[in-house]
């Protein structure tokens, strides 16, 4: 009897010891798990910002460029609300998105190109997680429209085959601080701000070279061009008139990116003789440095469909102007539409 009781007591003691050991082990295991180092991926998730900053390209980019930097730009504009396939080609949709973004920013030049000031603005938008409403600056044109879809970009090709949309008026028109052969204000004194600033720099450089450039005719509205073309048709006939005068909607002057220039040596006229003047020769050599091209060069009449006009300057930006003038090509050829 005594032996049986002792055996039961030993069994009970062993059971209590095992229960206590298991409880201690569970507590220790829990404490060890809490003190164990966290998984690296968990730490990374907690330290990464929810809106990771996207890197922006540093170089100047424009329509038709193809590079990894363009792809980087496309991903950046997608981050603020656009939906562009990042192909790495600066196509029409990328140009539209950049133009639309620029139009929604205060005091940002509207050019359709990616430059230093646009990069700075995008950097700020990304940092502040700003959301842009696509199309609220520049509405997309309809698929059935034959008009230029983005008349605000500085590389917009305006000619007899590419007309400006009905009712188009350029933004940011100003009078450049340059010489004119007349005193009174007329709308034709105006240019878009981005072109006017470049023209001021170009005229200053010409002054330093001892030349006398004069600005003669810049912006023309649709109605003004309509009246000019009608008058030329009446005097010369429609076929002849269209060799030197654009139909309304087909004139570069309506973009606000063009200025006809002249000099005292030819009595401030707009004539092919201007190309032989010191001013005309200087422009041929240096206009591209300020973003301008001679839009209708000699020997390219079959492409431009206009006569040689050494006085007609068009702003396209320094990069495009340098390429065009160095290669001796037209804007049509540069944009691949010839």
Task: Give mean pLDDT in consecutive 10-residue pieces for the chain, a chain of 338 residues.
Answer: 42 42 44 41 39 81 97 96 96 97 94 97 93 89 71 96 92 97 95 98 98 97 88 86 82 97 97 97 98 97 96 98 97 92
Q: Is residue 15 part of a domain?
A: no
Which residue is associated with the tokens 């400006």?
164
Q: Is residue 246 part of a domain?
A: yes
Predicted confidence at residue 229, as pLDDT, reads: 83
Give the DSSP H or E segment for 311: strand 309-315
* pLDDT for res 200: 98
**286 falls within a domain:** yes
My answer on whether 298 and 177 are in the same domain is yes
For residue 152, tell me if it sits in a domain. no
pLDDT of residue 35: 43
Number of structural domains (the chain) is 2
Name the phi and psi angles at 259, rounded to 5: -145, 130
Same domain (yes/no): 224, 312: yes
pTM of the model: 0.82
How many residues belong to the chain?
A: 338
Same domain, 185 and 252: yes
The pLDDT value recorded for residue 154 is 98
Which pLDDT value is given to residue 167? 87
CA 228/CA 247 separation, integer angstroms: 9
Domain around 113 = 68-127
Q: Give the pLDDT confidence score for residue 58 in this predicted structure.
A: 96
HEC profile of 213-260: CEEEECCCCHHHHHHHHHHHHHHHCHHHHCCCCCCCCCCHHHHCCEEE
Q: 196 and 306: one domain? A: yes
Does some domain include residue 27? Answer: no
Domain contains 10: no
CB environment 218-241: b (16+ within 10 A), e (fewer) = bbbbeebbeebbeebbeeeeeeeb
Residues 182 and 327 in one domain: yes
What contacts 24+ positions apart, CB below 8 Å, involve 283-289?
A: 283/206, 283/213, 283/310, 283/313, 284/310, 284/325, 286/202, 286/205, 286/206, 287/202, 287/313, 287/321, 287/325, 288/318, 288/321, 288/322, 288/324, 288/325, 288/326, 289/202, 289/205, 289/318, 289/321, 289/322
Evaluate whether residue 275 is within a structural domain: yes
Are 123 and 177 part of one and the same domain?
Answer: no
For residue 147, what pLDDT is reported?
A: 85
Is residue 108 domain-shared with residue 257, that is, in the same domain? no
């Amino acid at each position: 009897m005594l032996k049986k009781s002792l055996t039961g007591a030993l069994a009970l003691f062993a059971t209590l010891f095992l229960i206590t050991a298991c409880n201690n082990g569970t507590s220790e295991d829990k404490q060890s798990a809490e003190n164990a180092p966290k998984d690296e991926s968990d730490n990374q998730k907690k330290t990464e910002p929810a809106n990771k900053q996207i890197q922006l390209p540093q170089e100047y980019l424009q329509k038709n460029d193809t590079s990894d930097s363009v792809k980087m730009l496309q991903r950046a504009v997608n981050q603020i609300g656009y939906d562009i396939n990042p192909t790495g080609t600066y196509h029409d949709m990328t140009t539209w998105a950049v133009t639309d973004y620029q139009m929604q920013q205060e005091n940002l030049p509207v050019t359709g190109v990616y430059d230093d000031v646009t990069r700075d603005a995008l950097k700020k938008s990304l940092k502040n997680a700003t959301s842009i409403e696509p199309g609220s600056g520049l509405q997309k044109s309809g698929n059935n429209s034959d008009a230029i879809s983005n008349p605000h970009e500085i590389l917009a090709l305006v000619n007899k085959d590419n007309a400006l949309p009905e009712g188009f008026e350029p933004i940011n028109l100003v009078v450049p601080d340059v010489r004119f052969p007349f005193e009174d204000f007329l709308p034709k004194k105006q240019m878009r701000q981005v072109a006017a600033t470049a023209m001021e720099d170009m005229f200053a450089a010409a002054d330093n070279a001892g030349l006398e450039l004069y600005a003669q005719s810049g912006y023309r509205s649709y109605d003004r061009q309509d009246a000019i073309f009608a008058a030329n048709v009446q005097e010369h006939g429609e076929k002849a008139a269209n060799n030197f005068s654009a139909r309304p909607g087909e004139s570069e002057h309506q973009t606000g990116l063009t200025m006809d220039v002249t000099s005292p040596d030819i009595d401030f006229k707009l004539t092919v003789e201007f190309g032989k003047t010191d001013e005309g020769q200087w422009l041929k050599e240096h206009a591209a440095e300020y973003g301008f091209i001679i839009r209708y060069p000699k020997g390219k009449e079959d492409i431009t469909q206009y006569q040689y006009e050494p006085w007609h300057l068009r702003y396209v930006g320094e990069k495009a102007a340098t390429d065009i003038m160095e290669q001796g090509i037209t804007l049509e050829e540069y944009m691949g539409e010839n």
